[in-house]
């Protein structure tokens, strides 16, 4: 099945810094989502982005499907950005199954 790899696994930032999280996938995809899991365990939808670029406030995401990767940009980070960031994909060959990467754990220090 499709493999999803996220990097880096852990990231520590000072408040106000910018960061880039990466998601690589091993096969073509029909769907890619980014989620934020907050310290209370809730999974929050950030982006649904099978291709192209989207922005939402301080966050933006870019998916280059032909090169099998997606990037999540966080600008001017805040302590509330702390948590785990997951990407998840529907592979073209395993439709119906949303497969997750291992996540990037982000800690933003005040």
Partner 1 sequence: DAGITQSPRHKVTETGTPVTLRCHQTENHRYMYWYRQDPGHGLRLIHYSYGVKDTDKGEVSDGYSVSRSKTEDFLLTLESATSSQTSVYFCAISEGEETEAFFGQGTRLTVV
Interface residue list for partner 1 (CB under 8 A): 1, 30-31, 33, 35, 41-43, 45, 48, 86, 88, 90, 95-103
Q: For strand 29-37 and strand 43-48, is the pairing parallel, antiparallel, or unpaired?
A: antiparallel
Give the Cα separation of 55 and 57 in Å (integer). 6
Locate 54 and state its tokens.
């989207």
Q: How far is the CB of 6 from partner 1 (least distance, A)?
A: 9
Close Cβ partners of 67 (under 8 Å, ≥ 6 residues apart): none
Closest CB to partner 1 among residues 48, 76: 48
| CB nearer to partner 1: pick between 75 and 100 | 100
* Residue whose CB is less far from partner 1, 39 or 110: 39
To the nearest whole angstrom, how small is the minimum distance from the Cβ of residue 83 to partner 1? Answer: 13
Q: 91: which 2 tokens?
A: 């592979």
């Amino acid at each position: 099945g499709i493999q999803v790899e996220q990097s880096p696994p852990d990231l520590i930032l000072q408040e106000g810094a910018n960061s880039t999280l990466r998601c690589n996938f091993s096969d073509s995809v029909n769907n890619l989502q980014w989620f934020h899991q907050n310290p209370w365990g809730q999974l929050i939808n950030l982006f649904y982005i099978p291709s192209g670029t989207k922005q939402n406030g301080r966050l933006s995401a870019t998916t280059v499907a032909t090169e099998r990767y997606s990037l999540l940009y966080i600008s001017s980070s805040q302590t509330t950005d702390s948590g785990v960031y997951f990407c998840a994909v529907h592979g073209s060959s395993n439709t119906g199954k949303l497969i997750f990467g291992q996540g990037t754990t982000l800690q933003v220090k005040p």
